[in-house]
């Protein structure tokens, strides 16, 4: 099986969630760019590679069983602590549009299982992400 870098794996997660509802909105694309520029986990990331990584992920997704292939690459690339980070990134991208489509929910749940995250850990990350976007 091919391998990808940790940075690529995190980008793949964001692309998978963004593309899951059939479109990658401008808000989601901007969020992915902002995340890769601001979060410490992307400190040594080559931002010039972002578009190429997104295109690579999209190409894999077009293949038969592409989602499972991408998730396998992600799981193999990420150590345990970064799996929680990946899940949180997926939530961030999904919540960027202020609503989560059913397809995004399915992909996020599939991601949780693929990463082997405990339901309670996932619930805590979900609650934190929701709190970030709530308005009065």
Q: Helix 26-38 and helix 80-95: axis angle, to 10°?
A: 140
- The C-alpha atoms of residue 123 and residue 3 are separated, in whole angstroms, by 29
First vs last C-alpha separation in the chain: 48
Into how many domains does the chain fold?
A: 1
Instruction: Note the pLDDT of residue 136.
Output: 62
- The C-alpha atoms of residue 111 and residue 74 are separated, in whole angstroms, by 9
Residue 17, domain CATH:
1.10.3680.10
pTM value is 0.92
Residue 1 within a domain: no
Residue 74 within a domain: yes
**How sure is the predictor about 70, in pLDDT bands with cuts at 50, 70 and 90?**
very high
* pLDDT tens digit sequence for 20-44: 988 788 899 999 999 999 999 999 9
Per the structure, the complete domain to which residue 38 belongs is given by 6-133
């Amino acid at each position: 099986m091919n391998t990808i870098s940790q940075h690529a794996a995190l980008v793949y997660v964001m692309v998978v969630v963004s593309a899951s509802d059939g479109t990658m909105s401008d808000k989601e694309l901007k969020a992915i760019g902002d995340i890769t520029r601001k979060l410490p986990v992307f400190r040594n990331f080559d931002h010039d590679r972002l578009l190429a990584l997104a295109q690579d992920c999209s190409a894999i997704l077009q293949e038969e069983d592409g989602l499972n292939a991408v998730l396998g690459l992600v799981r193999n690339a990420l150590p345990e602590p970064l799996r929680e980070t990946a899940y949180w990134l997926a939530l961030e991208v999904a919540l960027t549009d202020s609503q989560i489509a059913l397809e995004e929910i399915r992909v996020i749940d599939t991601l949780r299982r693929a990463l082997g995250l405990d339901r309670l850990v996932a619930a805590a990350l979900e609650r934190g992400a929701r709190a970030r976007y709530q308005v009065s």
